[in-house]
Amino acid sequence: MIDLEIIRDARKRISSHILSTPLVHSPSLSHVCGTTVGLKLEHHQTTGSFKLRGATNAILQLTEADRARGVIAVSTGNHGRALSYAARAVGSRATICMSRLVPENKVSEIRHLGADVRIIGGSQDEAQQEVDRLVANGLVMVPPFDHPDIVAGQGTIGLEIVEAVPNVATVIVGLSGGGLAAGVAAAVKGMRPCAKVVGVTMERGAAMKASLDAGKPVQVEEFPSLADALGGGIGLDNKLTFPMCRALLDDVVLLTDSEIAAGIRHAYEQEREIVEGAGAVGIAALLARKVAGLRGPVVLVLSGRNIDIELHRRVINGVKNPLGEMV
């Protein structure tokens, strides 16, 4: 388990390298829910997602020798961008392995940061095989979620939430490999044990939900989704985020792509925020009234903004199948 002390240490380490993002009141969602709702604007983070927190915390704890060897990771896009940025900042170089499901806009942004990009297979699990091969050849792996430095870095969001809303009752956060959800839950419950933390993910290919239901990590088939950043497996040898999510999450909510699209539209039309599908799942869960026993104050983590702008335009315009031939 990652505890409050470890997360506080991570905040001291990364504070000069990341943004402490705003937490703002949402009148529209407060009206929908009948209680106070706040938005943690983590999509305003440098590199456009929360991932920079964990990647920076991990990079800063590598030895000079390890930085010189270069770092490598599998990614659905946002971790790769964050790791590439953090590596470049300390004079290291990143190699990022991704599947064909990763949107091209995320791939190109990683290339612009000077990373060696490798597109491997049709799933994150297949891309991980290339990571394993290159680690055996000397590169240093910085995984996207199942690592104590990553979880602790993401957990700094939870510290900021409770400091901004000391009486927070419900925190809603996107759920994929579990780095964000586990870190935020550890911080929030460490400071406010009575608070409820809810993970939200897409209906098809939800690896952590399937694993929690099975009582152990399992593999799932990956599908294209508006919440592409939530895709991928959790690893059959998952050592940290699975047990933490099992112990700390109070519920997991599943969403259809139509519900996620509604969340993206609401963010744009009512909150004046551009968010990607994974960043909109908290809004979507509230709009779909899928959070059972909702108590306020509520805080949603808007986790990322790195959506292809043409895809965003199709969603906002109400295109019935915005993913087109991908679906």
pLDDT tens readout for residues 134-167: 999 999 999 999 999 999 999 999 999 999 999 9
**Residues 61 and 202 placed together within one structural domain of the fold:** no
Q: Residues 318-326: what's their mean pLDDT?
A: 74
Q: Which of 106, 141, 176 is the last residue of a domain?
A: 141
Confidence class for position 123, pLDDT limits 50, 70, 90: confident
Closest among 63, 68, 60, 114 to 92, alpha carbons compared? 68
Confidence class for position 30, pLDDT limits 50, 70, 90: very high
Structural domain including 191 reads 4-50+148-326
**Residues 270 and 217 placed together within one structural domain of the fold:** yes
- For residue 11, what is the domain's CATH number? 3.40.50.1100
Number of domains within the chain: 2
**Residues 242 and 273 placed together within one structural domain of the fold:** yes
Q: Does position 84 have pLDDT exceeding 50, yes or no?
A: yes
pLDDT tens readout for residues 280-290: 999 999 999 99
**Residues 46 and 80 placed together within one structural domain of the fold:** no
Closest among 86, 55, 106 to 306, alpha carbons compared? 106
**Residues 298 and 178 placed together within one structural domain of the fold:** yes
**Residues 217 and 301 placed together within one structural domain of the fold:** yes
Q: Residues 169-187: what's their mean pLDDT?
A: 98
- pTM for the whole thing? 0.94
Q: Does position 324 have pLDDT exceeding 80, yes or no?
A: no
User: From CA 266, how far away is CA 60, in angstroms rounded?
Assistant: 37
pLDDT tens readout for residues 226-258: 999 998 899 999 999 999 999 999 999 999 999
Q: Which of 115, 141, 167 is the last residue of a domain?
A: 141
**Residues 38 and 60 placed together within one structural domain of the fold:** no
**Residues 60 and 128 placed together within one structural domain of the fold:** yes
Pick from 7-16, 44-53, 116-125: least confident: 116-125
**Residues 99 and 194 placed together within one structural domain of the fold:** no
Percent of the chain residues past pLDDT 70, beyond the cut: 99
Q: Does position 93 have pLDDT exceeding 90, yes or no?
A: yes
Catalytic residues: 51, 303
Q: What pLDDT is stored for residue 326 in this prediction? A: 38
Tokens coding 302: 């808007």
Pick from 26-40, 96-110, 185-199: least confident: 96-110
End-to-end Cα, the chain, rounded Å: 38
**Residues 177 and 238 placed together within one structural domain of the fold:** yes
**Residues 134 and 240 placed together within one structural domain of the fold:** no
**Residues 100 and 192 placed together within one structural domain of the fold:** no
Q: Does position 127 have pLDDT exceeding 80, yes or no?
A: yes
- Average pLDDT over the chain reads 95
Q: Does position 327 have pLDDT exceeding 80, yes or no?
A: no
